[in-house]
Amino acid sequence: MTTSHEIRDCVVVTGASTGIGAASARELARRGFHVLAGVRRDQDADALRAPGIEPVILDITQPGHITELAARVDSQAGALRALVNNAAIQINAPLEILPLSEWRRQFEVNLFGHVAVTQALLPALLRHSGRVVNISSVGGRVAMPTYGPYAGTKFALEAISDSLRRELAPLGVRVVVVEPGSVRTEMADRVIVATNQAAAVMSPEQRDRYGSLIQAINAHSAAHTPGGTPADAAARVIAKAVTTRKPRTRYTIGRDAALITRLTRVLPDRMLDRILVASLRPHYPKATTA
């Protein structure tokens, strides 16, 4: 906790247990902010707690947790300078096989939870001309096969961010989108596990249709993650989005994200389809390669 003679401005970071969120909490604390870092479990809080970092138990799908967070922000001596909406889950699965309950769960966490937190903290952000930083994804610009559920949430987050930016600009609150590509975090392994769990309940006919595709998607992810951007480097981009005086509306993280976002602006859909198919081809099981 800060003392009365050491009042720090505050930043809220959701999804700070691991990966980009944890790295961002540490980077923002290093830059002099008091970070309210949302985590799901007590052990995550214990691992993250450090000078300038105050972990708070936060499930952004739980209204009670959000109410408690807003009350904590209002009790903070320093101004709320930014909300970093980072929490996310991901399951890659063909549209046909993923139950609607899992679609809804991804949208609850990756979209509606962020809306709820933003609604609760906007009064404080408006009082202090703060900033909303929404962590999207390169998947908010292009949807690989099986990425429909996750990319759907990120495309929606991008649209909401655009609308919110235009609503709040006259009121002094900036809205920034950050679009990471491949980042070296624990999330990639969790995604593969979740994807395999979803695939395990496929019917034989569905396995014939999608089994090789799912293996290729998992292999593609496993191959690209080790060469991805380190979480600490991603955190520096997010900190820039929080602190720079005149931020851009969007920042990418990683060369892959920068390249893909450029391609989506200039290439027709069919050409982009062919590029994505070619990127997956080396990762299909050998026995099914034509």
The catalytic residue positions are 150
Angstrom CA distances, 171 to 34, 73, 174, 176, 218, stand at 24, 20, 9, 15, 44
Strand partners, 132: 83, 175
DSSP-assigned letter for residue 50: B
Report the 10 Å Cβ neighbour count for 67. 12
Number of H helices, E strands in the chain: 11, 9
Interatomic CA distance for residues 19 and 22, integer angstroms: 6
| CA-closest candidate to residue 125, choices 157, 85, 162 | 85
Contact (CB, 8 A) for 74 and 124:
yes
In one-letter notation, the amino acid at residue 173 is V
Contact (CB, 8 A) for 109 and 154:
no
